[in-house]
Chains A and B, each alone.
Chain A
Amino acid sequence: MTLRESLGRAAAPVIVRPDAPTRGLATPRGPLRREGPAKLTGTALYTDDLVFPGAWYGATIRSTEAHARLLGIELDPAFDWSKVVVVTAADIPGPNVVNSIQDDQPILVADEIRHHAEPVALVAAPDRGLLGEAVARVRIRTEALPAVLDPLLSEHAFAHYEIESGDIAAGFAEASLVVNGEYRVGHQEQLYIENNAMIAVPRDDGGVAVHGSLQCPYYVHKALRRSLLLTDAQAQVIQAETGGGFGGKEEYPSILALHAALLARACERPVRMIYDRHEDIAATTKRHPAIVRYRSGVSADGRLVAQDIEIVMDGGAYCTLSPVVLSRGTLHSGGPYACPNVRIHSRAMATNTPPNGAFRGFGAPQTEFAAEMQVNRIAEALGESPLELRRRWLYRPGDATPTGQVLRESVAAEDVLNRGAEAAEFERVRARTALDRAGRQAGGRARSAHGIGLALGWHGAGFTGSGEVHLASLASVELGADGRIRVLIGSTEMGQGTKTIFPQMAAEALGVGIDDVELAPVDTALVPDSGPTVASRTAMVVGGLVIEACQRLRAVVESRSGDRSVGTGGSFADVYRDDARVHGATRIDQHFEPYPGVDFDDTTYRGDAYPAFGWASAVAEVDVDLDTGEVAVRSVVAADDVGRVIHPVLAEGQVEGGTLQAVGYATIEEIKLIDGRYLNDRMATYLIPTALDAPRIETILVEAPFSGAPHGAKGIGELPMDVGAPAVVAAIHDATGVWIHDLPASPERIIAALMAADAQRPHA
């Protein structure tokens, strides 16, 4: 059988009904990635691949201090400045703020530098050589100010939350075991392989078009409109092919687009702002570092009766998205466990370090790592299996979360836990590693140790609280007069599969082949604001809107298919081309409607924090080198409940990629700071896992559908990020007997913990 034949015999895409026509080439595991051939032939155009004749090159002059007063920007009089353009805060036509939650971050520093690598001035030149010369002849004059680098010493909070349920004092009164813990996690860099990049092109109407690597075109659009005083039409944002985002291209592209646009306005030409890796790591947002403290009470009969949790996140110098990152971290900090008495206090503090922002998981990986560490340490204190303890405590339908949200449906904590543990043979392997450990303690001098660990997590699907209601997303589907079906959404492809699953979902709803559905390019001049491509909301929320829009379009067309002019009636697939010929274009705009029965009070933090939760478990096996402290993560079994699997290959890809990012977070990814500056701001010094570091990853997809979405999907992107790190650290403990409380579990920390444990052990 030839390859072509084997593909031809393939079954239909997963959610397309067996009787639906599937003219698209499909594998048994979902249709092929739509933009795949372009990416595989090198013809997909990323921002730096775009050619704009006559374009200039832009660069950013950045601060070299963590906190200082800006006294002046000096241009070397020996240099011919007429050949280049320089832009400072004084050249910004509108408000000098990067549009976000608070108006605290300037586009360019006007008076006070608040972090290292902060943009102070911009330069553009016709070629890179001249640009380099010009940049070297700009000097910024400053007066140093005292810097706050420790969030625990900061007096300025960007946000704080308090959640209380039950009676925390009564809970601890009932406890026979109390376990305290403090856990620290550091910065993590998204490290998309394509750096942030933006090209601004002046428009004839006085506006600007930006082409860039970005997740959220309408965030950029709003930022441009506001600070450049442009109309909706004058600000145009076009997404180029985007080489990974992971949150790192959620809010950051707004400031970069503003910079490129300001330079383009100044030199009246297209301007390319393509970061190199050093600048990207030094200047762009990271995952928030956090300090998470727990006091947990367990009753004599083994119930979790009290959780007192304190969270401190380091927001960096500006607010960015810290309030929502903190909110998600706060809401997930109890872990997926029922507890009647909970108190959570959290705050995100300002420091003179580069601003932190969105990164896959968005606050939850920080607090869920801590929550799972706490559960594992309680299991150890009780002498109980970490699997059995979780089985007792995990959320089941009818349980209530600390905000009072009753989990009515789509609760799969038990399912993902059991399926992951069974596939990994958790108890069998754990019994073996326990024997190994006993053997080593009996005097065997081993060079390495094997361990297994598990973690359970949850992740609220979509925006937090009333976020989706405020977003009021819009998605459209159009049957053109030419008979072409087009889906119009602002959701972006950054590798996760947007360009494939939307045609797939639309084709299923319309009963046509996937290749009959086109997806409009992400260009704010063409597509509506479907909300940002973040929060694992794309398949669930925007996917739901597209399906509903298609259902309406289908009903409209089929209802008039009885018209004599359109033939004798029939299904949408049979008549839509004739319908378009007779009736012209038909467009359906679908607005987000609140999910029924979902209600959250933003002021009291009571109610349904999320319309539904996804559930995930991870079981990791590691080898720890007892001489060097190095950890090799051998395997991870990841079981993830995503509500409904739309495309198995893409879904597995999300779980595998998220799991490896979590493994990196657990073991090697670390940012060191000196005086508020990232010390390891290069790929040679900020390490991410290679193929040799990566474990074998087995993905188990679980489906507990969410009834509020027409297809039942709950989102997938962030789930695996929540559970990988605590599973790895639990496995390190299983191998070595020591707990590593801070991420990453680096060789230095492991060796230090082993030496401390050794010092405490009575010597014969």
Chain B
Amino acid sequence: MTVQFQVNRETVELDVPGARRLLDVLREDLGLTGTKEGCGEGECGACTVLLDGQVVDSCLVPICQVDGHAVTTVEGLGLDRGLGRPSPERRAVVDDLDPLQLAFLEAGGAQCGICTPGMLLAGRAFLASGAAPTDEAIREAIAGNLCRCTGYTKIIEAIALGASRQATTEAGRA
């Protein structure tokens, strides 16, 4: 079937089987390999993306359900700040990072990095929700994303740091 949807604000149109996983469309058809596969059954959250701003496991979403909707992947995180789409050809540097990504870098929230794209998107959705960034609320927000390296402590710190910076920025605008 033909599906049309937005990925990181760009409109794409594809002719693919409707049952094809969003994860495979992103990684194989669009070359957006920042989204990772850890289990293929919705347990680990490594493939987390945002669908119209909502956290979903892209391994569980058939592409037919994405028709007419908007997807955000890790490659699209810098777009709000006017940062370009990153690519593996150029080594990413600190200036490529949005505030939440930078908070992960500073706090040590990324170790092996394989859960990181999913964690960042879960974190982004949490920050966008406007919920108070308590320890419990952040744990709840990333409960669907497994990490085997960090013990979660520094991921939670990173999201809290991102929230406090977002609050500072918003206060500055007001």
Q: Which residues of A contact B (CB under 8 A)?
A: 3, 7, 25, 27, 32-33, 35-46, 48-49, 51, 190-195, 241-246, 276-277, 494-497, 649-650, 652-653, 656-661, 682-684, 688, 690-692, 694, 696-697
User: How far, in whole Å, are A45 and B73 apart by their CA atoms in the complex?
Assistant: 16
- Asked if A46 meets B114 with Cβ closer than 8 Å, knowing A683-B38, A691-B155, the reply is yes
Partner of A656, one of B86, B150, B165: B150
In the complex, the answer to whether B143 meets A692 with C-beta atoms within 8 Å is yes
Known: A194-B38, A244-B112, A650-B108. A41 touches B74 (CB 8 A): yes
Among B46, B111, B155, contact of A495 (Cβ-Cβ < 8 Å) = B111
Q: Which residues on B sit within 8 Å (CB–CB) of A653?
A: 108, 111, 149-151, 154
List, in ascending order, chain B residues with CB within 8 A of A242's CB.
Answer: 112
Q: How far, in whole Å, are A559 and B65 apart by their CA atoms in the complex?
A: 69
Given A35-B113, A46-B36, A244-B148: A684 touches B153 (CB 8 Å cut-off): no
Q: Are A33 and B150 in contact (CB under 8 A)?
A: no
Q: Flag whether B7 is at the interface (Cβ < 8 A).
A: no
Closest partner residue, chain A, to B92 (CB atom): A37
A285 to chain B, nearest CB (A): 16
Contact indicator A691/B113 (Cβ below 8 Å): no
Whether A41 and B86, one on each chain, are in contact in the complex, defined by CB atoms closer than 8 angstroms, is yes
Contacting residues, chain B, for A697 (C-beta < 8 A): 151, 153
Verify B106–A27 contact, CB threshold 8 A: yes
- Distance between Cα atoms of A465 and B144 in the complex (Å): 43
Mostly helix, strand, loop or mixed at chain A's interface? Answer: loop
B111 and A657: CB pair below 8 A? yes
> Are B43 and A684 neighbours in the complex by a CB distance under 8 Å?
yes
Q: Is the CB of B154 within 8 A of A649?
A: yes
Q: How far is the CA of A195 from the CA of B47 in the complex (A)?
A: 14
What residues of chain A lie closer than 8 Å to B35, measured between beta carbons?
42
User: Which residues from 77 to 100 on chain B have a C-beta closer than 8 Å to any C-beta of chain A?
Assistant: 77-78, 86-88, 91-94, 96-97, 99
The 7 closest A-B pairs by CB, nearest first: A42-B34, A495-B112, A243-B114, A39-B113, A656-B151, A495-B111, A42-B74
Q: Are A41 and B38 interface neighbours, CB within 8 A? A: no
Using Cβ atoms and an 8 Å threshold, which residues of chain A touch B88? Answer: 38, 43-45, 49
Which residue of B38, B107, B116, B145 contacts A39 across the interface (Cβ within 8 Å)?
B116
Of B41, B151, B155, which contacts A277 at CB under 8 A?
A: B41
- Alpha-carbon separation in the docked complex, A409 to B113 (Å): 37
Chain A residues whose C-beta falls within 8 Å of the C-beta of B39 in the assembled complex: 276-277, 682-684
Query: B31, B105, B117, B149: which contacts A32 (Cβ < 8 A)?
Result: B105
| Chain A CB within 8 A of B33 CB | yes
Shortest CB-to-CB span from B31 to chain A, Å, is: 8
- Min C-beta distance of B50 to chain A, whole Å: 13
Q: Which residues of A contact B73 (CB under 8 A)?
A: 42
What are 6 A-B pairs at a CB distance below 8 A?
Answer: A36-B105, A40-B101, A46-B33, A46-B36, A245-B112, A656-B154
Task: Give the contact-size bracket for chain B.
Answer: 35 or more
**Which residues of A are found within 8 Å of B154, using beta-carbon distances?**
649, 652-653, 656
CA distance A694 to B152 in the complex (A): 7
How far in angstroms is the closest Cβ of chain B from A214?
Answer: 13
In the complex, which residues of chain B have a beta carbon less than 8 angstroms from the beta carbon of A45?
Answer: 33, 88
Contact of A42 with B112 at beta-carbon distance under 8 Å, contacts A3-B99, A48-B37, A649-B154 already known: no
A41 lies within 8 A of B152 (CB): no
B44 on the interface (CB 8 Å rule)? yes
B34 touches A32 (CB 8 A): no
Question: Is there contact, CB below 8 Å, between B116 and A40?
Answer: yes
* Seed contacts A193-B38, A194-B114; 20 additional CB < 8 Å A-B pairs: A33-B105, A36-B104, A42-B34, A42-B35, A51-B31, A193-B44, A193-B114, A241-B113, A276-B39, A277-B39, A494-B112, A650-B108, A656-B154, A660-B152, A684-B39, A688-B148, A690-B146, A691-B147, A692-B140, A694-B152
Contact A32 B94 (CB under 8 A): yes
Q: A658–B148 Cα gap in the complex (Å)? A: 9
CB distance from B127 to the nearest CB of A (A): 15
Question: Are B151's CB and A694's CB within 8 A?
Answer: yes
Q: Within the complex, which residue of A27, A35, A39, A659 is in contact with B151, where a contact is CB–CB below 8 Å?
A: A659
In the complex, which of the residues A194, A650, A683 contacts B41, with contact meaning CB atoms closer than 8 Å?
A683
Complexed CA–CA distance, A688 and B146 (Å): 8
Q: Is B32 an interface residue (CB 8 A)?
A: yes
Nearest CB on B from A682, distance (A): 7
Q: Closest residue to B41 on the A side, CB-wise?
A: A684
Q: Which of B77, B107, B145 contacts A41 (CB 8 A)?
A: B77
Q: Does chain A have a CB within 8 A of B40?
A: yes
Contacts of B150 in A (CB 8 A): 653, 656-657, 660
List residues of chain B with CB within 8 A of the CB of A191. Answer: 148
A717 CB to closest chain B CB (Å) equals 11
Give the CA-CA distance A190 to B149 in the complex, in Å.
Answer: 10
- Residues on B with C-beta less than 8 A from A684 are 39, 41, 43
Most buried by B among A37, A40, A190, A694: A40
* Cα separation A45 to B142 with both chains bound (whole Å): 24
How close is A13's CB to chain B, nearest CB, in angstroms? 13
Residues of B within 8 Å of A25, CB to CB, are 94
- Nearest A residue to B95, CB-CB: A37
Q: Say how far A468's CB is from chain B's closest CB, in angstroms.
A: 26
Distance in Å: Cβ of A189 to nearest Cβ of chain B: 10
Which residue of B is nearest A638, CB measured?
B151
Contact of B108 among A33, A42, A277, A692 (CB under 8 A): A33
Bound together, the chains give a CA A276 to CA B156 distance in angstroms of 28
Of A495, A660, A692, A694, the residue contacting B113 (CB under 8 A) is A495
Q: Which of A40, A192, A276, A659 is B112 in contact with, Cβ under 8 Å?
A: A192
